[in-house]
Structure 1
Amino acid sequence: MSSLVESAHHFKLRCTEVGLSRETLRAFADHGIDTLSKLAYSCGQPGTPLPQTEFDDFVASLIPAALLGEKGSVKRLLFESQALLLNDLREQVTQPDNKWSTKDVPIVERQKRMEAVKASIPGVVVEGPLEPSHGLLNAACRMEREGQLRYIAPEQCGTRMYEIQNVKAQSKVLSLEEGKLAISEEKGLPEVACGSALLLQEALKRRGVALQFAGVASFLAHERYIQKLFAHMGREPPPGHSRTSVHQLLTADRQVWTKMIQDEVPAKRGADGRHPVDDALVPALQSYEVTVCLLPRAAVESKKRPAPPKRFAQDRDTKTQKGDPSRGGGKGNGKGKRAAWQPSVPEGIRKLGGHAQTPDKKRICGMQSRINHPLTFVCR
């Protein structure tokens, strides 16, 4: 479990912080008290006043030689355990359906679990791009605590560094609890980019680390699932088809978890110590509903864009003949020299003796008038 009242590491830390001796800790362990939740029900009833005589009998049976100061520390720890337990039960009742309203894993619990995860997967450096965010760890632990699978998209599997650098204010949610309005904070997982195959693979690996951290699935089983998923991307497609895309992998991953949730695969470890999710990942990937999402798709032939319309021909005829005054010919148009600019005249008008210039070489039609009235010429 991941809450404060169910963490054995947090219990030992709190016993040390309130000043209990090693002998008292050993006495707690001998009587099977290793969490705050067990201590809360060991003496008295949570939510009701604790009689002094009942507490004295409890301490006398547990640690007969306890001094007055140590008795006070035990009473303080007992009151704290009952208060935390009541608060934990109240949150489970008032916020049962809030997807990301998870209780954070205690610091000491998170450190111990992460050390155990790193030791169980040698050869994998759980740092940098493979270190999951605390929000991802909390979301995975909630699945184990409730015993129900929830789909965590790769976009929500951020890194710890990204979580530190992109701290967002939590949104406020107004709810009605026991006939009274209450304002609570809604926690959400920040989204990261998964547009490329490398980013998607790293996000899935971080989810595998979080699942083993929470005890929902083993990292090796999830890694085997990732390799089979990406194997579809490396296969040579048939002629006229394109390779499996990253978008298809994302769709298939969502379908895999949807199928496991529909099949009611439990999130808790079984009595034999195996994870049901480990045995369900690959069969779900090989099901028809998921395989159809990974089939190579027909390649779309890129249509050639139509050629842009040709611009209006410039008012220059490079194929003018010498001696034709209407075509800009005459003296001075030798080879190697650029022909003088002459406005073009339609052949029909030219045969009738039409000209585009006056005898003093002035245009009869300007550029603007030629656009509006392209057939304005003078025939002589």
Structure 2
Amino acid sequence: MASVTLESKAAFLERCRRIEMTDATIEGLRAAGFDTFGSLGFAVCANPQALEEGQVIKFIGDTFPAGLTLKQSACIRKLLFESQALSLQDLKARVEPPPVDAPPRKMPVAERLAREKAQREKLNGLIWGPEMQPGQGVVDACMDMLEQNVLVYMPPHKFVSRSQEISCVKRDKSVLVDTDGGLKVTAKNQDMSCDASTEYALRQ
């Protein structure tokens, strides 16, 4: 789910903090309009393979006129590289469609938590819990439809709750053949379902 990661402000912020970027540096990027991987990916150079050190130094100087420490400059370089890598990964995913039996790409944890928090604040009065939350696989499948711009029918018994999903978690692996003929070990796509014979059963 590269495009979701590219446009996720929550995932970008979480990554900035994980690489020990200071709040001042993060705020400097935000002030310049860079708050996602997608916005930063091509901020310095249109061709990642042609990126030169002089361009990076100029970008840092223009974005942070007061200057940065060596540590924070290294964080900017790392973030630039990762942003470009994610942009290229997203482009490759759009050009080369995944195998038919490949599971949907997972939403970043930070983005998932941010959306869950926003939903809790919007839908006041509901009692939130694992039984009320849709399974992560359900959310990923719906987001995959949105990214692919293809509507796929999902029967009611496929809308499992997070509680049911946790109780059915398995760690089976499957081997797939990629477009280059190589073998790739991935998590096996689990076929989860719930009882949808009655409205009450579906509610549970």
Tell me the TM-score range normalised by the shorter chain.
0.7 to 0.9
Residue 116 (1) aligns with residue 118 (2): yes
1:93 equivalent in structure 2: 95
Aligned equivalents of 1:85, 1:170: Cα separation in 2: 28
What SS does the corresponding residue of 1:142 show, helix, strand or coil?
helix
- Residue identity opposite 1:154 in structure 2: P
Shift of 1:157: 0.9
Shift of 1:89: 2.5
1:31 equivalent in structure 2: 32
C-alpha contact 2:175 2:183 (8 A) present in aligned 1: no
2:199 equivalent in structure 1: 197
Of 143, 146, 149 in structure 2, the residue corresponding to residue 144 of structure 1 is 146
C-alpha contact 2:10 2:110 (8 A) present in aligned 1: yes
C-alpha contact 1:133 1:163 (8 A) present in aligned 2: yes
Deviations 1:289-310 (A, max 9, x none): xxxxxxxxxxxxxxxxxxxxxx
C-alpha contact 1:28 1:62 (8 A) present in aligned 2: yes
Residue 58 (1) aligns with residue 59 (2): yes
C-alpha contact 2:5 2:37 (8 A) present in aligned 1: yes
Deviations 1:295-345 (A, max 9, x none): xxxxxxxxxxxxxxxxxxxxxxxxxxxxxxxxxxxxxxxxxxxxxxxxxxx
Change in Cα spacing, 1:151 to 1:138, as seen in structure 2 (3 Å) is: same
Pair member with larger Rg: 1
1:16 equivalent in structure 2: 17
C-alpha contact 1:3 1:103 (8 A) present in aligned 2: no
Change in Cα spacing, 1:182 to 1:45, as seen in structure 2 (3 Å) is: farther
Equivalent residues in 2 for 1:151-162 (5 A)?
Answer: 151-162=153-164
Equivalent pairs: percent with the same residue? 25
- Residue identity opposite 2:24 in structure 1: E
Residue 104 (1) aligns with residue 106 (2): yes
Aligned equivalents of 1:193, 1:172: Cα separation in 2: 30
Aligned equivalents of 2:153, 2:145: Cα separation in 1: 10
Shift of 1:41: 0.5
- Residue identity opposite 2:36 in structure 1: T
Structure 2, unmatched stretches of 5+, are none
C-alpha contact 1:10 1:108 (8 A) present in aligned 2: yes
Higher helix content, 1 or 2: 2
Aligned equivalents of 1:99, 1:124: Cα separation in 2: 36
1:126 equivalent in structure 2: 128
1:171 equivalent in structure 2: 174
Deviations 1:67-87 (A, max 9, x none): 222111100111111122222
Aligned equivalents of 2:35, 2:102: Cα separation in 1: 28
Runs of 4+ in 1 over 4 A off after TM superposition: none
- Residue identity opposite 2:166 in structure 1: I
Farther off after superposition, 127-136 or 42-51: 42-51
Aligned equivalents of 1:140, 1:100: Cα separation in 2: 15
- Residue identity opposite 2:156 in structure 1: P
Which structure carries more relative contact order (alpha carbon 8 Å, separation 6+)? Answer: 2
Change in Cα spacing, 1:99 to 1:20, as seen in structure 2 (3 Å) is: same
Aligned equivalents of 2:82, 2:177: Cα separation in 1: 29
C-alpha contact 1:172 1:183 (8 A) present in aligned 2: yes
C-alpha contact 1:5 1:85 (8 A) present in aligned 2: yes
Aligned equivalents of 1:99, 1:164: Cα separation in 2: 22
Change in Cα spacing, 1:152 to 1:100, as seen in structure 2 (3 Å) is: farther
